[in-house]
Chains A and B, each alone.
Chain A
Amino acid sequence: MSQPNNYGFGEEAALLKTSAAKFFAQHLPVDRLHALVAGSHDPNRRPEAPWPQDLWQQMVDLGWTSLAVPESAGGLGMPCVAVAGLMEELGRAAFPCPLLGTLAASYVLAECGDAGHAAQQEIVEGCAVALALTDSTGSWDTASSGMTYEGEILSGSAHFVQDVRKAQRFLVSASGAQGMQLFWVAVEADGVGVESDAIVDLTRDQGRIRFNGVAAQRLGNAGAAALDRAMPALWILLAADMAGAAEWLLQTSVEYAKSRQQFDHTLGFFQAVKHPLVDVMIHIDATRSLLYSAACAVDYEPARARQLAHMAQASACDTAAFSAGRAVQTHGGIGFTWECYVHLYFKRQKHSEVLWGDATWHRARLADILLGGPAAAGSAQGAETAA
């Protein structure tokens, strides 16, 4: 199959993206976001992670949380590129909510066959999901996790779980007699204990989950393969979040560079300021072009989705880091303060950058696909093959 010219980004997708932009701008402009999440500046503050739960309910009612659930399972089954467009707007608003985990879980469940059907129903009914796939070292290799299973009983702990306080269901990977498998667990199930991490990012919450002999619903018998096939979509959606946040950082920096005067000129007059801002724009555009192409591949060219998603995510991580650093630097002294909104996005970008593989890790995986595993260094570090 080949990709359509317009990435499959049709009228419905365009409408979704513009209405999402309007929704976030209207309901949670950055001053209100700051008032909501940046109440305490104490670096030793306990994790609180306030979020606009009422707005989340509106998003559920709009159907945004079931966009990636196939129509056959009662969802909206929108193309991945349309879902990415929504995530881009969510990133532009630095909106705190469990949408990424819920959408990503939808892609995983879609790969689980009939065994995923009941869980898909719960997403369609409005359940938010957090992915519990990561061990205590924070490994980005999804082939192993810190959990084990015996039959349908889970033990162990999952770490670096995103939006852990906002979710009603956990999608868990665990190792056992039949290799790595996936499980579906309700937050309130007996034996589940959640502890929040104290994190830098004010727009997310993160934590660890302890599973103490928890009875769970097993999602079929081919969990490792299902997760493997769904990872590209997860990377693409996170890349879209970073691209959107980067555009906010760029436009905010550009506005500042147009108004702030020094040496009788606005900052943007000086090439030492202007050229790096242009480079931020170039980074963002590369990321956007790559992520639309990767998203399009998820629907039209699955054999190339993994390779293109590694490219998109590697590019997005670099863009996130660069846009964040330049925005603070361009704003000068004010950019270094708590009252300037830039730090909200700076922190979100630095968080996103290391969530599901950083730029170097994704380039290393891409190299494994294009060049094969390194012969001299040994291929023990998780070489992947082209899907």
Chain B
Amino acid sequence: MSDSEKRDSAEQAEFRRYCRDWLADHHPGEPTVRLPQSPLEIMTRDQLGYLQAWQRAAYDAGLVGCDYPVEVGGGGRKDCQRVANEEMQAARTPFFPNVIGLGMAAPTVLHHAQDDVKRELLPRLFSGEDIWCQGFSEPGAGSDLASVQTFAEPKGDKWVINGHKVWTSLAHFAEWMIILLRTDKSHKYEGLSYFVVPIRAAIGSGVSVRPLIKMTGETGFNEVIFDGLEVDDRYRLDELGKGWQVAMTTLLHERGAGELQAPRAGGLKSRESHSATARSLLELARKTPRGAGTAADDPVLRDRMMQQVIREEALKENQRRARVPALLDHPMRLPLQNKLLASELGQDTARIALEVAGAAATLYMADEHAPDRGQWPLAYMNSFGMTIAAGTSEVQRNILGERVLGLAKSK
């Protein structure tokens, strides 16, 4: 019996049994396509189709959106998504493709959309039928997100959108976008409003999506140009001018500090791929020849690898301690560290793996001699996406310094 299993409520225990039984019968098995390292690197329709079918099946079985109200297509349970996630991870299922929808759009829509919009959008989001993307960053608005310029102009009971969003993961597959727009040019923060917009239907007539190629050579994210796209006012979330506050709901969940646990499956990867964890780092060291022994004998590398093991354990224990109020000083002190710690940990683990691999770290995915099929250089390069996206590590440190330590706001 696992640790978290022992701590289950009666509802969670029963639901866990249900999930386990269902997964035993309905595990999708060895993937029929080569899967990428994460949903953000989905490149082909084959990959997407395979993953959508899996998400659909899991949703129909009640393993997705467990804690959302029944009226919006959720399971109406209490703190059960965590249970489903644990069981899906233990069963090594594939991940869900609609990662931005589940993790960021859904909680934002639930908190801020009008009721009929929730009922219209959330069931198809949970099932994976509608893929979602996020339109926040612009060429002139990165870390300084509140300076977005993409403009929505009122026209009857509609809005007309013009502008340019970038770094938009999954936009090439997405039906819907959550988007931060300027509705008033005279106020920086109060001039922002938040919408959900149907982009796929408008491609070629108001929206164009252009792929950006990452330093890894992979596609996966895009720039999206709006040229007079019209959208109904009912798709505005919360009040006019409240866009910044709504965006905070999104960002809190994106950084793993929100109140709703995102549905998260995973564990199963293609034979070729793996995760940049301390465990896989140690495995790499054990099989990498160095002198008369292996890299696992090198005292300097041992020390560096143990630092990663310890950081990974600490992150796990931070997440556990965040639910023990008697051992917390400030309610946001641990949740706001999550994204910063996880992204920098992954980056450093991959970087140290390249040191461990030595000369073989030069070999990439197409080389049959590459350690772990060239996944370490790929993981290292992709890790910079994690330390830059969703607020750079520098922005995260500002937030922690200001909101938790109470230091003066930096410019």
Contact = CB atoms under 8 A, between A and B. Distances in A.
Contacts of A59: none
Interface residues of B, number: 55
Contacts, number: 159
B281 to A, nearest CB: 11
Contact of A376 (B4, B292, B318, B324): B292
Residues of B contacting A: mostly:
helix
A281 B302 contact: no
A363 B318 contact: no
Given A366-B309, A370-B282, A257 B407 contact: yes
B327 A288 contact: yes
A17 to B, nearest CB: 8
B291 A366 contact: no
Highest count of chain B CB atoms <10 Å: which of A3, A286, A372 = A286
Contacts of A360: 303
A120 interface: no
Interface in B342-395: 394
Contact of B394 (A9, A247, A275): A275
Interface string B279-323: 000100110000111101111001101110111011101101101
Contacts of A13: 326
Contacts of B409: 269
Contacts of B317: 289-290, 292-293
Contact of A314 (B2, B306, B404): B306
B397 interface: yes
Contacts of B401: 268, 274-275, 277-278
Given A258-B406, A258-B407, A374 B324 contact: no
Nearest to A367: B302
B398 interface: yes
Interface string B47-58: 000000000000
Contact of A2 (B1, B305, B337): B1
A278 B299 contact: no
B293 A281 contact: no
B240 interface: no
A367 B304 CA distance: 10
B293 A375 contact: yes
A376 B398 contact: no
Nearest to A268: B407
B121 interface: no
A311 B309 CA distance: 9
A363 to B, nearest CB: 4
Contacts of A134: none
A274 B402 CA distance: 9
B171 to A, nearest CB: 32
B282 A289 contact: no
B13 interface: no
A57 to B, nearest CB: 29
Contacts of B326: 6, 9, 13-14, 17
A290 B310 contact: yes
B312 to A, nearest CB: 10
A192 B96 CA distance: 70
Given A269-B408, A269-B409, A289-B318, A5 B302 contact: no
Given A2-B6, A271-B394, A254 B303 contact: no
Given A9-B326, A371-B286, A275 B320 contact: no
Contacts of B299: 364, 374, 377
B110 interface: no
Contacts of A270: 410
B122 interface: no
Interface in A1-51: 2-7, 9, 13-14, 17
Given A2-B2, A278-B401, A367-B306, A289 B320 contact: yes
Instruction: List the 3 closest A-B pairs by CB distance, nearest first.
Output: A268-B407, A289-B317, A286-B314
29 contacts: A2-B2, A2-B6, A4-B6, A6-B324, A6-B326, A6-B327, A7-B320, A7-B327, A254-B406, A269-B408, A269-B410, A271-B394, A271-B398, A274-B402, A277-B405, A282-B340, A285-B337, A286-B311, A287-B314, A289-B314, A289-B318, A293-B317, A311-B314, A364-B306, A366-B310, A371-B282, A371-B285, A375-B297, A376-B297
Interface of B: 1-4, 6-7, 282, 285-286, 291-294, 296-299, 302-303, 305-307, 309-311, 313-315, 317-318, 320-321, 323-324, 326-327, 329, 333-334, 337, 340-341, 394, 397-398, 400-402, 404-410
Interface of A: 2-7, 9, 13-14, 17, 247, 254, 257-258, 265-266, 268-271, 273-275, 277-279, 281-282, 285-290, 292-293, 308, 311, 314-315, 360, 363-364, 366-367, 370-372, 374-377
